Structure 1
Amino acid sequence: MKTKTLKRDKVNIITLGCSKNLVDSEVLLTQLKGNQIEATHEAQSDDANVVIINTCGFIERAKQESIDTILRFAQAKEDGQIEKLYVTGCLSHRYKDELAAEIEQVDDWFGTMDLPLILNKFNANYKHELVGERLTTTAPHYAYLKIAEGCDRPCSFCAIPLMRGGHVSRPMEELITEAKNLVRQGVKEVMLIAQDLTYYGIDLYRKRQLDELLRRLSDVEGLEWIRLHYAYPASFPLEVIDVMKERNNICNYLDMPLQHGATEILKHMRRGITRQKTEELIDAIRQKLPQIAIRTTLIAGHPHETLAHHEETIQFVEKMRFERLGVFTYSHEENTHSFSMPDTIAQEEKERRAAEIMDVQQAISLSHNQAKIGKTFKVLFDRKEGNYFIGRTEYDSPEVDNEVLIDATQNFVRLGDFASVTITDATHFDLFGTLNK
């Protein structure tokens, strides 16, 4: 007599959206594997019988990508290619009821804080002993480190608090433990992420503690680069720059989304800062640390933005000469304060304004890059493409910033290693160099 065996689940996790979502997927992957459940992240093979989609609900384009992905796997379920389909993340958190009514093939919908409920679907338990342990899905030598969840800022255009809740800092000891574990796995660079890094510690320690967290992370042996993403400009704690100046393994890099260059629009955005105060802050940071690279993002086409406001932003970009800059077009998000304002600027016009800002930034970026010709930099190499090894300086974050290319037919470097590179040529967003033997 044959004994009946049950087929074990194999789970494929699909991640959409930002690096904060990626960390959530990595935690889910770690918990599933810790419960002896076979799981992969964005597997190329199609042998998984369960798919979990971690969605983004930040702006219209991201929402549409998430919906398209859900529909694609819903069809795969109908076709018998997968057995179960679960959806989690920001879009699911925000529109769970509406989506469930429209897409019946999804077996269950989860919010951003529902990890234990997802695990229950696999008869698995949340393992507290795995807190601080995380399997990464990025290149082996770098990882994101989420230091807080949610946001307390009142930005009028942003739906993040609707999906992620208020700001909650992670305990410092937990973050240090996680950083040490990442280093043991081979990670050399961590990128600190949160909706607002500068708010870190207020809820736990009754004061801003990002500077102290940086000092303690800097002391972690083997951690060679620490990078800061998403700092809020209003009431920015300048002591963070002092620590950056003190410690060699904290990159001279700051990602600070500023959103606009016109005070009137900043007021509509509820940013709590004026253009003048913003310029004073940037000047103060650069005086403390002249070699810093500041990355920012701007929004084109927010309600009430006139052509004169747009011109103010262009003048702001020309004056501040940011080392790195990106532009989003405004997305009219329901239940935000900006949604009560008239969204009268056509999408085509928003895109024209965004492109005009990027044209200005492209010339600035070329000027910054050409100034690097003949200089030598420490470069971390991420990958090989065609005839080039591709890496980054401390002034560049993965996927969003400039890259350094060296000829792979004339040079060799191991991926994940640092090397000294002299820059020989530069384009708008790429540097070319030779290895120093």
Structure 2
Amino acid sequence: LAVADLKDAAGGPRAVVAVGCLSERYGRDLAAELPEADAVLGFDDYPDIAERLTRIVAGERHVPHAPSDRRQLLAISPVDRSAAATSIPGHGAGDELPAGWSPPVLRRRLDGSPVAPVKLASGCDRRCTFCAIPSFRGSFISRPPADVMAEIAWLVGEGVQEVVLVSENSTSYGKDLGDIRLLETLLPAIGEGTGVRRIRVAYLQPAEVRPGLLQVIAGTEAVAPYYDLSFQHASPSVLRRMRRFGGRAEFLALIAQIRELDPLAGIRSNIIVGFPGETQEDLEELVAFLVDARLDAVGVFGYSDEDGTEAVGLADKVDEEVIRERVESITSLVEEIMAQRAEDRIGEQVTVLVEAIEQDDAGDWIAVGHAGHQGPDDGATVLALEQAGDALVGEFIAAVVVDTDGVDLIAERS
């Protein structure tokens, strides 16, 4: 909101416009609560956003939308959705383009990072009881492969070396295009046809992970040895209340399968503690899983009611103070495990993508980046430099891990 205070200053912004998930979800209610914004735009405004913004800057009043459940906009059957895909922001090449052609990339980079996200799909068909995303993001829609590859090729031309494929559920990619295994063919195609050096896949749904997909991730040179698995918990009873599948035994078997295929793999996940009905026994099941799994990166979150979700109405809510205590306990545990996992990598050969050249507290030059097994927020790898020019942002450096600092790795050129 601070930017709204600059509107009257010389050279200040001409308008303040709210966009994104919050704007889509609350629409006119958000507009009423946010008088500092000149407009609140929803997803249906995106196809004509340039025209909308021009009018807003000219002083025209924008009427905010009334929120609706976007799950009702598309067919229940995924394969019947492609006809409506052009109405979903960011999807569909349009009927005027020949088959196999993709629309021009309408994107401007806001920084010079060698890493960039690329949207793989939008929406989600799962109905987890704690999650509101499907209600305002809608049903699952995959971007056409040619569209994804065109954007990545453009990013490579802009200096990007690594792309992170993002969606609400990347394992579902292609199911609405008639091929549930489309990701298995897309990943090698990206590696061979776009010039990008490293591909990272975000958000794999454990219940949908296929052996063939694991083999492609492990066996495709350009794909990072990185597995982002959304476990959320390990107690079967808690997972069923979340309307999710699996449990400690199934998850450990999946992890073992990954490490057999890809021994140096990095595995990350998120955990929710304090979900309604979670008992001390459930928590102990989670602890046992985390100890056995030895994940490389774990995000720990305390449950809280989310507007419009089924979990709001569930019985046996856990006291907020108990939730805080459980978050602290599990966080302490995973921090210790993650540090141990980092120490296990001492002596390991890694390939580091340099993302920054900076000086440490002692004034020495260092290169900071990520190895293949490290996600953007999962710790970093640091290399000492004699001088700033000894490494370049965007450069891949072969190195060996010689020490650790918590979850971060300290490496030397090999």
**TM-score normalised according to structure 2 size:** 0.81
Deviation at 1:321, TM superposition (A): 0.9
1:424 is aligned to 402
Three-state SS of the structure 2 residue aligned to 1:134 is coil
Q: Distance in 2 between matches of 1:347 and 1:79?
A: 44
Residue number among 229, 250, 255 corresponding to 2:202 in the alignment: 229
Residue number among 141, 145, 158 corresponding to 1:185 in the alignment: 158
User: Which deviations, in whole Å up to 9, do the C-alpha atoms of 1:316-340 show, x marking residues without a partner?
Assistant: 1001111221112212112111111
Three-state SS of the structure 2 residue aligned to 1:84 is coil
2:295 is aligned to 322
2:375 is aligned to 397
**Equivalence map 1:37-436=2 (5 Å):** 71-77=1-7, 82-123=13-54, 131-342=104-315, 344-386=317-359, 387=364, 388-398=366-376, 400-409=377-386, 412-436=390-414
Deviation at 1:373, TM superposition (A): 1.9
Deviation at 1:228, TM superposition (A): 0.9
Deviation at 1:301, TM superposition (A): 1.3
- AA of the residue aligned to 1:85: V
- AA of the residue aligned to 1:311: E
Deviation at 1:96, TM superposition (A): 1.5
Residues 103 and 147, structure 2, Cα contact 8 Å, conserved in 1? no
Aligned residues: 364
Three-state SS of the structure 2 residue aligned to 1:114 is helix
Q: Distance in 1 between matches of 2:24 and 2:316?
A: 25
Specify whether residues 138 and 268 from structure 1 end up closer, same or farther in structure 2 by C-alpha distance, changes over 3 A only: farther
Residues 200 and 224, structure 2, Cα contact 8 Å, conserved in 1? yes
Three-state SS of the structure 2 residue aligned to 1:385 is strand
Residues 366 and 429, structure 1, Cα contact 8 Å, conserved in 2? yes
User: Which deviations, in whole Å up to 9, do the C-alpha atoms of 1:333-390 show, x marking residues without a partner?
Assistant: 1211111114733444323212222222222222222222233321111112323221
Specify whether residues 325 and 101 from structure 1 end up closer, same or farther in structure 2 by C-alpha distance, changes over 3 A only: same
Three-state SS of the structure 1 residue aligned to 2:208 is coil
Q: Distance in 1 between matches of 2:112 and 2:103?
A: 21
Three-state SS of the structure 1 residue aligned to 2:22 is helix
User: Which deviations, in whole Å up to 9, do the C-alpha atoms of 1:225-244 show, x marking residues without a partner?
Assistant: 11110010113122111112
Specify whether residues 341 and 75 from structure 1 end up closer, same or farther in structure 2 by C-alpha distance, changes over 3 A only: farther
Alignment gaps of 5+ in structure 2: 56-88, 94-101
The alignment yields a C-alpha RMSD, in angstroms, of 2.4
Q: Distance in 1 between matches of 2:249 and 2:105?
A: 41
- AA of the residue aligned to 2:15: K
- AA of the residue aligned to 2:392: R
2:73 is aligned to none
Three-state SS of the structure 2 residue aligned to 1:358 is helix
Q: Distance in 2 between matches of 1:131 and 1:410?
A: 41
Q: Distance in 2 between matches of 1:234 and 1:372?
A: 29
Deviation at 1:410, TM superposition (A): 5.9
Q: Distance in 1 between matches of 2:382 and 2:188?
A: 32
Specify whether residues 105 and 375 from structure 1 end up closer, same or farther in structure 2 by C-alpha distance, changes over 3 A only: closer
Deviation at 1:204, TM superposition (A): 1.1
Residues 190 and 225, structure 1, Cα contact 8 Å, conserved in 2? yes
Q: Distance in 2 between matches of 1:194 and 1:144?
A: 10
User: Which deviations, in whole Å up to 9, do the C-alpha atoms of 1:204-252 show, x marking residues without a partner?
Assistant: 1243311111121121253111111001011312211111232211111
Deviation at 1:272, TM superposition (A): 2.8
Three-state SS of the structure 2 residue aligned to 1:363 is helix
Q: Distance in 2 between matches of 1:334 and 1:392?
A: 36
Specify whether residues 370 and 199 from structure 1 end up closer, same or farther in structure 2 by C-alpha distance, changes over 3 A only: same
Residues 120 and 143, structure 2, Cα contact 8 Å, conserved in 1? yes
Q: Distance in 2 between matches of 1:78 and 1:260?
A: 50
Specify whether residues 288 and 376 from structure 1 end up closer, same or farther in structure 2 by C-alpha distance, changes over 3 A only: closer
Residues 248 and 286, structure 2, Cα contact 8 Å, conserved in 1? no
- AA of the residue aligned to 1:93: E
- AA of the residue aligned to 1:395: H
Three-state SS of the structure 1 residue aligned to 2:252 is helix
Three-state SS of the structure 1 residue aligned to 2:207 is coil
Residues 238 and 285, structure 1, Cα contact 8 Å, conserved in 2? no
Deviation at 1:304, TM superposition (A): 1.1
Three-state SS of the structure 2 residue aligned to 1:425 is strand
Specify whether residues 230 and 121 from structure 1 end up closer, same or farther in structure 2 by C-alpha distance, changes over 3 A only: same
Deviation at 1:290, TM superposition (A): 2.5
2:63 is aligned to none
Deviation at 1:76, TM superposition (A): 4.5
Q: Distance in 1 between matches of 2:143 and 2:282?
A: 39
Specify whether residues 77 and 307 from structure 1 end up closer, same or farther in structure 2 by C-alpha distance, changes over 3 A only: farther
Residues 357 and 391, structure 2, Cα contact 8 Å, conserved in 1? no
Q: Distance in 1 between matches of 2:141 and 2:375?
A: 25
**TM-score normalised according to structure 1 size:** 0.77
Residues 233 and 286, structure 2, Cα contact 8 Å, conserved in 1? yes
Residues 152 and 194, structure 2, Cα contact 8 Å, conserved in 1? no
